Amino acid sequence: MFFSDATYQQWMHFLLILTRCSALVALLPFFGSANIPDTVKAGLSMALAVFLHPIVKIDPALFPTGLDSFLILAFGELMIGAILGFAVRLLFSAVQIMGHLAGFQMGFSVANVLDPMGGEQVSVIGQFCYVIAILVFFAVGGHHWFFSAAAESFAIVPPGQFAFSRILFDQLTTMTADMFELALKLGAPVIGVLLAADVAMGVLAKTVPQMNILIVGMPLKIGVGLFFLALTMGFMIVTMGASFRDLGPVLGSFLKAM
């Protein structure tokens, strides 16, 4: 498509695709990070819209005839892309919650780092687990689900047909609950061992009061936590990979609920 020779229908076709893709890219894990320049995000959105333009078919009758109708359509497109991106962010939030809980138990809560995705401080263990989740996400091809969902979304939810239904609300609520369940499932081995270590040190402090349990306990908990984190890393990677592989049907169910 040459922009200089584009007709009104072609421009509306392209702008509607670009609006939905821009919202999706803005909330993508890694791509939506604050460390990624805005020009790169805009370029990725533009490239995705250009690739989808000859593939996606939109009924010309749906094209807006004025600015007010275009803004209404653009808002719906933004909501569709934002909901799809938010659904995937919940999975990565589960990994960060698990790392934050484990880091808090290990005593790493006083040493935080800046999360480039959310722009706030998180624990070192949480950020480490988040980086592992990003690598697993790309390894299992999770980013491909975004591009296929962006193309299929126009067939399932044409422009102007978005509706925040009760089914969509229930699915978002269920996925939020699943986020905490996944966080506990991933962090249960490490958190359980650290709680047992706290109980053991409490008993030791009562039986041997001469021992400075604060000096002994801090490096002990860090060592035990890191050891069991490394020991259970294989289980965490498999669990995260299974969650990312199920991403396609999850995004499809969200689109059908709109």
DSSP alpha helix (H) spans, the chain: 8-26, 38-52, 67-106, 124-139, 142-156, 166-207, 213-231, 233-245, 247-257
Which residues neighbour 93 within 8 Å (Cβ) at sequence distance 6 or greater? 179
What is the signed CA dihedral for 38, 41, 46, 49, rounded to 10 degrees?
Answer: -150
Residue among 66, 256, 72 at smallest CA distance from 171: 256
Q: In three state form, how does the secondary structure of 153-184 look?
A: HHHHCCCCCCCCCHHHHHHHHHHHHHHHHHHH
Q: Which amino acid is at 85?
A: G
Identify whether the C-beta of residue 82 lies closer than 8 Å to the C-beta of residue 23.
yes
pLDDT at position 158, please? 77
CA distance 150 to 144: 10
Dihedral class, residue 208 (left if φ above 0, else alpha if ψ from -120 to 50, else beta): beta
Look up residue 63 and give its DSSP letter. Answer: S
CA distance 47 to 204: 62
pLDDT at position 129, please? 83
pLDDT at position 1, please? 46
Look up residue 30 and give its DSSP letter. Answer: T
Compute φ and ψ for 210, nearest 5 degrees. Answer: -70, -20
- pLDDT per residue, tens digit, the chain (258 aa), is 445 555 767 777 788 888 888 888 888 777 766 677 778 888 888 888 888 877 777 767 767 677 777 788 888 888 888 888 888 888 888 888 888 888 777 777 655 555 555 555 667 787 888 888 888 888 887 777 777 777 788 778 877 777 777 888 888 888 888 888 888 888 888 888 888 888 888 887 778 777 777 777 777 888 888 888 888 888 888 888 888 887 777 777 887 877
Provide the whole-model pTM.
0.75
- The SS3 call for residue 31 is coil
CA distance 135 to 129: 10
